[in-house]
Structure 1
Amino acid sequence: MDYQALERDFSATPGPSLPPASWNISPGQRIALIAQDMRGERHLNAALWNLLPPWAASPKLAYPTHNARVESALDKPTYAQAARSHRALIPASGYYEWSASHDPHYFSFPDGEPLLIGGLYSWWRADERSAWLLTGTILTTQAQGGAAEVHDRMPVLIDRNLADDWLDPEVDGERILPTAARAGLALSARLLHWQVAPLTGDGPQLTEGITLRL
């Protein structure tokens, strides 16, 4: 991921220790996200890929929070505050989904353009003496088109024309979430996907298609 291009394109200040390039990121690891604070300043930071709401007593929740359904995020206590005013862009070169037979497929734009995945973020700390931890989740929606052939859910992709409103904490989530989800369908329709080998290790070779034997 070209962090310098993201900093320039979104006028975002980079934080320390941005995660290195990876083609095999799992929940619980660090991802990069772009967010805007109440002063209107944008930041590109590393975040834990598992959203922890501020009121969580422990970092180990009883349920997974790496994905959140866009249809219900505003109604779920875990995500409601973030959905209203703590939205983020999660840049990626592509993403994986697994079919019902547990075969991984890689999704990306045909021209190599980076994806801007809609996300939510939250700051969490164990107690008043602890440092704040930035955490995030990826928003998903009902899969459409080719994506539905692999999985019933897909990430919400954010149209660049909506990115300013998406990041603006003054724009209420009640309006921007459904608008962004609808606009993202056209972006998802542009995605190509192909089956890849089981994900082992790391590196760009993980995104190479495999030849299926008939």
Structure 2
Amino acid sequence: MCGRFTITVTYDELQKYVEEKYEIEKISPDFRVPNYNVAPSMDVISILHDGKRYRIGLLKWGFIPSFNPDDKIGFINAKAETVFEKPSFKKAILNQRCVVLADGYYEWKQDETKQPYRITTDQKLFAMAAIWNTVTDSSGKKIHTVAIMTTKAYGITEEIHERMPVILDKDTEKIWLNPKYIDPLDIKSVLQPYKGKIHMYKVSKRVGSPSANDIELIEEM
């Protein structure tokens, strides 16, 4: 799964990155970076393509399906293997795809130690495949939410957990964000384990607390 991640660039670095990669000239001052411990229910930096251009904004991490608009938690992940079958996701996977920006994610070793690790890639910032939805709750409030796609772990990440987020490269991201791709076979071809270089190292158990958010969290133990 993917339950915590990091985006440790500065505001200026993020602005430069999205301008060069997505031709987005201005980002919101509301973007909270650096963030050393992004947790569910937080607003996450997301990018989609509206058919004409890339757009960037904040989505609440915890996908709320349209048939349950008053859900307070939502789904933080959606499995690549079953996303087309789930009533909660089958519309979004075809028409409401986006990416969530990160530069690392945390995972806990599945044994008695519960040791957290931070996992990074050969990309300074990477795009995690995601799906979004907008609902209006019973109070009339619109809520924009997102779930991160996961797939089977690959390489060294298999040592600590059986799942990992779907991390896109330049080519697969173009397919994922292109709204013209609605063939499930094309979409499934993108939902694969990341085959680029991956680095993994132990970090402090303090990362388990959503209130902990400082640079020491990403230091190697």
TM exceeding 0.5:
yes
Q: Which whole-Å CA distance do the structure 1 matches of 2:183 and 2:202 have between them? A: 35
CA–CA distance in structure 1, aligned partners of residues 65 and 23 of structure 2? 27
Deviation string, structure 1 residues 67-117 (Cα, Å, up to 9, x no partner) = 11011111101111111121111110100011113110000025x621211
Identify, as 1 or 2, the structure richer in strand: 2
> Any conservation in 1 of the 2:168–2:194 contact (CA below 8 Å)?
no
Equivalent position of 1:194 in the other structure: 201
Match of 2:184 in 1: 174
The one-character-per-residue Cα deviations of 1:152-188 (angstroms, maximum 9, x if unpaired) are: 1001111211222211122115133321123x4313x
User: Which amino acid letter does the alignment assign opposite residue 8 of structure 1?
Assistant: E
- Using the TM superposition, give the Cα deviation of residue 16 of structure 1 relative to its aligned residue in structure 2, in angstroms: 6.3
CA contact (8 A) 1:85 1:173 kept: no
TM-score (norm: length of structure 1): 0.86
Q: Match of 2:59?
A: 47
- The aligned residue for residue 89 of structure 1 is 99
Q: Find the aligned partners of 1:163 and 1:151 in 2 and give their Cα distance.
A: 24
Q: Write out the 4+ residue segments of structure 1 that deviate beyond 6 Å after TM superposition.
A: none
SS in 2 for 1:186: coil
Partner Cα distance (1:177, 1:105) in 2 = 29
User: 1:144 maps to which residue?
Assistant: 154
Partner of 1:21: 34
2:46–2:98 contact (8 Å) kept in structure 1: yes
Distance between the aligned counterparts of 1:93 and 1:85, measured in 2?
Answer: 26
2:112 paired with 1:113: no
Q: Partner of 2:190: helix, strand, or coil?
A: helix
Report how far residue 8 of structure 1 moved.
3.2
Quote how far apart the aligned CAs of 1:144 are.
Answer: 1.6
Aligned residues: 202
CA distance in 2, matches of 1:118, 1:207: 23
**Unaligned runs of at least 5 residues, structure 2:** 1-8
AA partner of residue 191 (structure 1):
I
Could you say which residue in structure 1 is the equivalent of 2:82? 72
For the Cα contact (< 8 Å) 1:124–1:133, is it kept in 2? Answer: yes
Name 2:194's counterpart in structure 1. 185
